[in-house]
Amino acid sequence: MAQGQDKTPEQHQAQGQDMAQGQDGPTKAAKANDPVLLALTQNRLDHISQQMGHVMVRTARSPIFSQAHDFSCFIAGPDGRVTAQADGIPIHTGGGGFAVRAVLRDHGGSIADGDVFLLNDPWQAGGNHLPDWVIARPVFVGGRLVSFVCNRAHQSDIGGGAAGTYNPEATEVWQEGVRLPVLKLVEAGTVRQDLWKLLMLNTRTPDLLEGDLGAMLGSTRIGAEQVAALVEEVGVDTAMDYFDGILAHAASRMSAAIAELPDGVYRGEDRSDNDCFELRDVWVRVSLTIGGGRAKVDFTGTDPQIRGFKNSTLANTHSAVFTAFASFFDPAIPRNEGTFSSLEIVAPEGTIVNATEGAATTMNTVFVAHEIIHAVWRALNQAAPDRACAGWAKNVFGVTSGREIGADGSTGKPYVFYHGLAAAGAGAVEGRDGFNQIGHLCTLGGLTISNVETYERLYPVRFVRQDLRCDGGGAGRWRGGTGADYEVEVMTPALYSFRGEGLRYQTGFGVAGGDWGAAGEMHVQETGSAPELAPKFGLRRLDAGRLSASSPGGGGWGRPEDRPVAEVWRDWRDGLISTEAARDAYAVVFSGDPDDPSSSLDTVDAEATRALRDKRRQTSPSAQGDVGPF
């Protein structure tokens, strides 16, 4: 077995072990000695978890599943370690084991065929935040527990102080929804109706919850049948050995990737710009120790937990660290619990990365996950500059909710929509510019941006613009994503929830000499009034009116004066950078009008450009980028 496999993340945490411990367990993988069967088993489990995801998308009723794909499907061994998770959003990767181990802890001796468990609580049941509910279905073969087939999915409403699971005024978990310990939702094949009714009473949208729980149960049933068939085919003992072998293989690949980094201690940090009630900097600080093919991610020095709902939990913090690592290295490395056995995470209790029981946490999968990923990337960037990832700008927007108004002025049905069309720009890496508009970093852009036309059909809104922003992207050899100028008319009075980041500061840091992307801006305007700066947190009730935003830009990679002139010209002609920015940031001097149809590379003042670029190259890289602001 790979190093550290015999310890769960919780045990590492509880014991505050240092890296040297928990290694060199007996190599169980030696028993999985048929490499063909190993490959077949891994390939099969991945396929099953993907199929489960497909069933989820197609059967769920709430758009959160089917449109935003805010769920993950995973398969764990009988000890709770996640073996396969081929389908799912990045910020769920690595959290699954916490949930299954909570099931084992609470029901270990009495789990029976036909039982299905449900949970969500971050402290009592291995949850990440309350809206993500986990269904865990044990699989038995020949009377032996061989696996748990599970999904974790964001529910549309779970009670609490605000509709739609996000309560930006919450200061404690009880204001965020119903807390579920490990519940036996299905007992011996029969849904417990008392429990089911309790759940339906604690949501504002029982029809959605009922449909979505049904999708989760259906998806795990299909997955469980297939896992059982696989285990029966090869035999239980053999299957268990090969489940371990899959973990060992992933462990060895991640460990080899880490071993290529120079040994040492690297630091990284990032901040949130408010605590949901006042403007203040809240820092996530990481010290990353690399040595012997292992990495220790120590959050000691991170700021204390905050009043608002951007506090992380242990499962979520682990997921964020895993997302940072997995996205930093080769995406072909499998992502199961073995992958991360060469990581040790120290997250001091009472900080924003491991809030104490009772804290408000709902926003954590986006913010503080973003800050955690950034801080870990910035540490990794120093260890492996060639793989360095520039910062992805943070999304400034929140949600708007209201009620439709009928033609006769009557009040219609409620609606809630995300201003996802105002998405921010991604950071650059070597070899590609940042994506100009992309979903949250915690989804690595997996969250798809809606079409204007679909939203206009679904909600009482009319969009005014969603156009790429000029000069938003951080300058660099590879330019950061530029973001967008966004404006929407909301045709009813509505409640606006503000919980973004990126309005006070630039958030897309540059690397390897690249610059930061631009900060965001956001305004609201009631019809007939002047536009005003949008609040950075909290709730505002507004009459019909407009919301506009310039989304922030991602960071650049490499020195801007190294960007080929032809690429700078292309961006200038396309209106993505101005004549001033071309000169000031990229040291390229243009004469003429970029919008002139006869514009060509001849519009570059070659001599002035050469002189400016030579001069720029003689100075040291800008003080921005990966070295600041600490």
* Dihedral sign (CA 461, 467, 470, 475): positive
Contact 306, 354 (CB under 8 A): no
Q: Of 164 and 445, which CB lies nearer to other proteins in the complex structure?
A: 445
Q: Is 235 in the site for other proteins (CB under 8 A)?
A: no
Q: How far is the CB of 127 from other proteins (least distance, A)?
A: 23
Phi, psi of 487 (to 5 degrees): -155, 135
Identify which range of 142-150, 170-178, 265-273, 459-467 contacts other proteins by CB under 8 A. 459-467
CA-to-CA dists, residue 46 to 29, 122, 606, angstroms: 19, 27, 54
Interface positions, 471-510, toward other proteins (CB under 8 A): 484, 487
Q: Is 196 in the site for other proteins (CB under 8 A)?
A: no
Q: Is 103 in the site for other proteins (CB under 8 A)?
A: no
**Which of 454, 450, 455, 446 lies closest to 426, judged by CA?**
446
Q: Of 196 and 277, which CB lies nearer to other proteins in the complex structure?
A: 196
Q: Is 465 in the site for other proteins (CB under 8 A)?
A: yes
In the DSSP assignment, the letter for residue 29 is G
| Residue of the chain from 195, 259, 449, 539 that contacts other proteins (CB under 8 A) | 449
Interface positions, 256-275, toward other proteins (CB under 8 A): 256
Q: Of 267 and 387, which CB lies nearer to other proteins in the complex structure?
A: 387
| Residue of the chain from 220, 436, 525, 622 that contacts other proteins (CB under 8 A) | 436
* Dihedral sign (CA 100, 105, 106, 112): positive
Whether cis (ω within 30° of 0) applies to the bond prior to 560 is no
| Residue of the chain from 190, 193, 410, 598 that contacts other proteins (CB under 8 A) | 598
CA-to-CA dists, residue 241 to 94, 142, 568, angstroms: 21, 17, 55
3-state secondary structure of 190: strand
Q: Of 360 and 389, which CB lies nearer to other proteins in the complex structure?
A: 389
| Residue of the chain from 439, 500, 510, 517 that contacts other proteins (CB under 8 A) | 439
Q: Of 130 and 251, which CB lies nearer to other proteins in the complex structure?
A: 251
The residues near 194 (Cβ < 8 Å, ≥ 6 apart) are none
Q: Is 432 in the site for other proteins (CB under 8 A)?
A: yes
DSSP string, 197-248: HHHHHT-S-HHHHHHHHHHHHHHHHHHHHHHHHHHHHH-HHHHHHHHHHHHH
| Residue in the block written with tokens 């156009």 | 467
Identify which range of 134-142, 399-407, 433-441, 604-612 contacts other proteins by CB under 8 A. 433-441
Q: Of 143 and 331, which CB lies nearer to other proteins in the complex structure?
A: 331
3-state secondary structure of 418: strand
Element (H, E) at 63: helix 63-66
Interface positions, 51-80, toward other proteins (CB under 8 A): 51, 54-55, 57-63, 66-67
**Which of 300, 295, 282 lies closest to 347, judged by CA?**
300
Contact 615, 584 (CB under 8 A): no
Q: Is 395 in the site for other proteins (CB under 8 A)?
A: no
Phi, psi of 457 (to 5 degrees): -80, -30
Parallel/antiparallel/unpaired status of strands 294-298 and 343-346? parallel
Contact 625, 513 (CB under 8 A): yes
| Residue 64 token pair | 């959160």
Q: Of 445 and 625, which CB lies nearer to other proteins in the complex structure?
A: 445
| Residue of the chain from 195, 200, 234, 452 that contacts other proteins (CB under 8 A) | 452
Interface positions, 147-176, toward other proteins (CB under 8 A): none
Q: Of 12 and 253, which CB lies nearer to other proteins in the complex structure?
A: 253
Share in percent of the chain as helix, strand, coil (round to 5): 35, 25, 45
Q: Is 25 in the site for other proteins (CB under 8 A)?
A: no
Q: Is 437 in the site for other proteins (CB under 8 A)?
A: yes
Q: How far is the CB of 334 from other proteins (least distance, A)?
A: 8
Q: Of 55 and 82, which CB lies nearer to other proteins in the complex structure?
A: 55
| Residue of the chain from 75, 103, 258, 429 that contacts other proteins (CB under 8 A) | 429
Q: Is 44 in the site for other proteins (CB under 8 A)?
A: yes
Q: Of 2 and 295, which CB lies nearer to other proteins in the complex structure?
A: 2
Phi, psi of 369 (to 5 degrees): -60, -40
| Residue of the chain from 18, 281, 456, 614 that contacts other proteins (CB under 8 A) | 456
| Residue of the chain from 18, 232, 237, 467 that contacts other proteins (CB under 8 A) | 467
| Residue 130 token pair | 């309350």
Interface positions, 296-355, toward other proteins (CB under 8 A): 326-327, 331-332, 335
Pattern of binders to other proteins over 523-562, x per CB under 8 A? ----------------------------------------
Instruction: List the helix and strand counts (H, then E) for the chain.
Output: 13, 20
> How many CB atoms neighbour CB 61 within 10 A?
18
Q: Of 255 and 287, which CB lies nearer to other proteins in the complex structure?
A: 255
Q: Measured between alpha carbons, how far apart are the two ends of the chain, in Å?
A: 40
Cα 71 from Cα 273, distance rounded (Å): 28
Interface positions, 237-256, toward other proteins (CB under 8 A): 249-250, 252-253, 256
Q: Of 271 and 440, which CB lies nearer to other proteins in the complex structure?
A: 440
CA-to-CA dists, residue 496 to 320, 417, 465, 536, 545, angstroms: 28, 10, 19, 11, 11
Cα 189 from Cα 270, distance rounded (Å): 48
Q: Of 77 and 483, which CB lies nearer to other proteins in the complex structure?
A: 483
Q: How far is the CB of 626 from other proteins (least distance, A)?
A: 17
Q: Of 200 and 608, which CB lies nearer to other proteins in the complex structure?
A: 200
Identify which range of 180-188, 189-197, 307-315, 593-601 contacts other proteins by CB under 8 A. 593-601
Interface positions, 560-589, toward other proteins (CB under 8 A): 570, 573-576
Identify which range of 95-103, 340-348, 444-452, 537-545 contacts other proteins by CB under 8 A. 444-452
Identify which range of 39-47, 139-147, 402-410, 539-547 contacts other proteins by CB under 8 A. 39-47
Beta-sheet strands, E only, within 13-163: 71-76, 82-88, 116-119, 132-141, 144-154
Q: How far is the CB of 332 from other proteins (least distance, A)?
A: 7
Size of the site for other proteins (CB under 8 A): 84
Cα 577 from Cα 568, distance rounded (Å): 8
The residues near 468 (Cβ < 8 Å, ≥ 6 apart) are 436, 437, 482, 483, 484, 485, 575, 576
Q: Of 341 and 436, which CB lies nearer to other proteins in the complex structure?
A: 436
